[in-house]
Amino acid sequence: MSSFFGLSKTKTFKPKRNIPEGTKQYQLKRYAEATLGSGNLRVAVVLPEGEDLNEWLAVNTVDFFNHLNMLYGTITEFCTPQECPTMSAGPRFEYHWQDPTVPEYKKPTKMSAPDYVDCLMSWVQAQLDDDSVFPSKIGVPFPKDFQARVKAIMRRLGRIYYHLYSSHFHQICALSIEAHLNTSYRHFLLFVNEFGLIDPKEMAPLAELNEAILADS
């Protein structure tokens, strides 16, 4: 069975390198962990007073990537090209992969869910590991298009949540980790809603769940 801490049978995505101690991002990460521990996710997503928005977006983007990596890792044996021949979120939503920097993916390309997730996570990880995009050193500025990049990353990461709920929720329940998924997604939704990172139309596959979470928060 797949490990909860990574993809065991397919490509393994290493977690983003540790944020160096003493940096602002390290302090914000510790703050985020402390507020999450309080159990109040609505408070946990709010930008800490006096802090830089880009730094806060960076810390949380890394955390969502790492957590989604772990969650998807639990069901890789069920998410196969045979079982999931398309990257979908129910019968009404299908996603094709596009990456203008890769010749074969300049146009939207239909592929299986595991291949799509592989491309998506590799694409995100390349940006997280690029110091010119996600600087880890003190004094290195964020690029001018940083917030646009975060929006693109979050929009695509959301599709993994939608696929997990629509195609694999019964398997996640069988593994008794639905609480992990529900808490992770609730945190994700509150965060992207707080900063307007994803157009609500993009989140239509889970519209009813989203409404319930936002009404209850």
Phi, psi of 97 (to 5 degrees): -85, 135
Q: Which of these CATH numbers, 3.30.1490.190, 1.20.140.30, 1.10.3720.10, 3.40.228.10, describes 24-216?
A: 1.20.140.30
Q: What is the pTM of this model?
A: 0.84
**Rounded CA separation 79/90 (Å):** 14
Amino acid letter, 148: A
For 73-132, the pLDDT digits (tens) are: 999 999 999 999 999 999 999 999 999 999 999 999 999 999 999 999 999 999 999 999
**155 backbone φψ class: left, alpha, beta (φ>0; ψ -120 to 50):** alpha
Name the band, by pLDDT with cuts 50, 70 and 90, for residue 17. low
Which residues are known binding-site members for Zn(2+)?
79, 84, 163, 168
Which residues are known binding-site members?
79, 84, 163, 168
Name the band, by pLDDT with cuts 50, 70 and 90, for residue 44. confident
**Rounded CA separation 162/171 (Å):** 14
User: Looking at the DSSP assignment, which residues form a beta bridge with residue 94?
Assistant: 88
Look at residues 139, 16, 115, 114 and name the one whose alpha carbon lies nearest to residue 67.
16
